[in-house]
């Protein structure tokens, strides 16, 4: 009876980034949906980034069975990735078991610029990044606030702080 009450309150449910759901969240989704529920799911198992907190990208495949029939649409256009980076990504993913989710057309306003650099250590990587930022500030007229440094492991922050400080690049 309680489940039916909650189901009736949510006639339409949107789940964005299904691949990053925890199994308990998925179970709740199953409880909230029923016959006649309007369910819209987005997700790509190859883009899961939260397995460290319990997300299970296999839920994308499970959803196709549990909530069948599902009308599947693949998005083959990106507005975020420039055409040059898309070419490199496509070449790298060609060796992957599942490259099906990769867009094939870029509508980004810029082609994108990237460099490959294989550092021997975190400190060397941070030094390289700080030197590139310094070059762009001094040589190309950029401001320090034009840059953001993203790293996957928080322990890298010290190396980047030291490298930016050595180049006298303000950061926060």
Res 32: pLDDT: 92
pLDDT of 137 > 70? The answer is: yes
For residue range 2-11, list pLDDT tens digits in order: 888 888 888 8
User: For residue 164, what pLDDT band results from cuts at 50, 70 and 90?
Assistant: very high
- DSSP state for residue 47 in the 8-state scheme: G
- DSSP H or E stretch at residue 124: helix 122-140
Contacts of 122 (CB under 8 A, 6+ apart): 155, 156, 159
What rounded mean pLDDT belongs to the chain? 86
pLDDT of 100 > 90? The answer is: no
Least confident of 59-68, 72-81, 153-162: 72-81
Res 101: pLDDT: 60
- What's the CA gap between 54 and 84, in Å, rounded? 34
For residue range 106-129, list pLDDT tens digits in order: 676 776 677 788 999 999 999 999
8 A C-beta contact, residue 165 and residue 154: no
Burial level of 129, CB count in 10 A (0-12/13-18/19+)?
buried
Distances (CA, A) of 89 to 39, 101, 102, 130: 31, 11, 8, 25
């Amino acid at each position: 009876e309680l489940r039916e009450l909650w189901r009736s309150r949510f006639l339409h449910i949107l789940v964005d980034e299904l691949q990053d759901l925890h199994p308990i969240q998925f179970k709740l989704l199953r409880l909230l949906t029923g016959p006649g529920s309007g369910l819209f799911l987005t997700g790509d198992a190859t883009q899961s980034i939260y397995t460290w907190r319990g997300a299970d990208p296999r839920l994308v495949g499970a959803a196709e069975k549990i909530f069948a029939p599902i009308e599947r649409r693949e998005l083959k256009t990106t507005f975020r990735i420039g055409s040059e980076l898309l070419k490199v990504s496509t070449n790298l993913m060609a060796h992957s078991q599942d490259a099906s989710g990769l867009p094939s057309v870029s509508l980004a306003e810029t082609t994108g610029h990237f460099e490959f650099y294989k550092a021997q250590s975190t400190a060397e990587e941070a030094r390289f990044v700080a030197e590139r930022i310094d070059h762009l500030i001094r040589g190309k007229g950029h401001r320090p606030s034009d840059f953001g440094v993203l790293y996957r492991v928080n322990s890298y922050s010290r190396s980047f702080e030291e490298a930016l400080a050595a180049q006298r690049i303000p950061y926060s």
